[in-house]
Structure 1
Amino acid sequence: MKKWIGKWVMFVALGHTVVGITFFGSVYRELLASGLYNSITSEKAGLAAWFALFGAVLFVVGMLLSALEANGSPIPRSVGVALLLLTVLGVVLMPVSGFWLMFPVALLIVLKKAPGVRPLAI
């Protein structure tokens, strides 16, 4: 099987970042111009910061998943469950969002049969 889970998560993270730059580009320029330190002074700036930080954390998760795949290590089912719960919460809170893109990897991790492990019955 192709090792695509980590790459998919990194792809989603990069897409998230592009969307953030598209919507918050002017806010990011203002934050940089003010020197970054203690520069979050509005709700919009806070939203822009969280958007960027979530994209970065998601990219790191993708790198970790890719490393596990490259080493032939199984991705812990608990990671899949956590991603699935986060995805469901994200879709419930924001149905018109990119959270839907995480369902394939979250479900695959949860349902994938690891060596010596019975598949999870849902």
Structure 2
Amino acid sequence: MTTTIRPRAGLHRWVPRLTLAAATVHMAVGAVASAPQWRDILSGGLWNTVANDDHARMTALWFMVAGVALFGLGLLAREAVIGTGALPAEMGWTLMAAGVLVSALEPASGGWLLIVIGALALVATRDRHRAPCASAGDR
């Protein structure tokens, strides 16, 4: 039995990889840029070391949490591709929404990368219901 592979099938595999790479870079930048805050947090024993009035530590924490969330989104997308052979459209919309918000509030940021990855995800899912995609076992 032969399976038709759509021309955009490669994007289904690359979007999760790009998302995981972006998450890794995000967390690395956060660790380097906030190294003094992380040293203080770790030396304080972690428990209750980020107070509401310490904006530098809160920024370091939430930057890292955003990286973990992006990493989780990439892992979920990868599992969707393995299980179904395709990305869910929600992947693209989620990345686009986050990218537009970040880019509007902070134009000199990685938000533009999220927009690009989100657009690639939407291109990949555009005709998902019109043509069959390779199953996970065909790769």
Query: Fold match, TM over 0.5?
Result: yes
The CA deviation at 1:109 is 2.3
Q: What does the per-residue CA deviation read over 1:72-103, in whole Å, with 9 as the maximum and x for residues that have no partner?
A: 34322233222211111110001000111112
Question: Is structure 2 residue 15 aligned with structure 1 residue 21?
Answer: no
1:96 corresponding residue in structure 2: 108
Structure 1 stretches of at least 4 aligned residues deviating more than 6 Å after TM superposition = none
Report the aligned-residue RMSD: 1.6
The alignment-based identity, stated in percent, is 26
- 8 Å Cα contact 2:99-2:112 kept in structure 1: yes
| TM-score in terms of structure 1 length | 0.87
Please point out which of 48, 52, 57 is paired with 1:45.
57
Instruction: Give the paired residue count.
Output: 117
2:41 corresponding residue in structure 1: 31
Q: Structure 2, unaligned stretches of length 5 or more?
A: 1-8, 132-139
Q: Structure 1, unaligned stretches of length 5 or more?
A: 118-122
Question: Is structure 2 residue 90 aligned with structure 1 residue 78?
Answer: yes
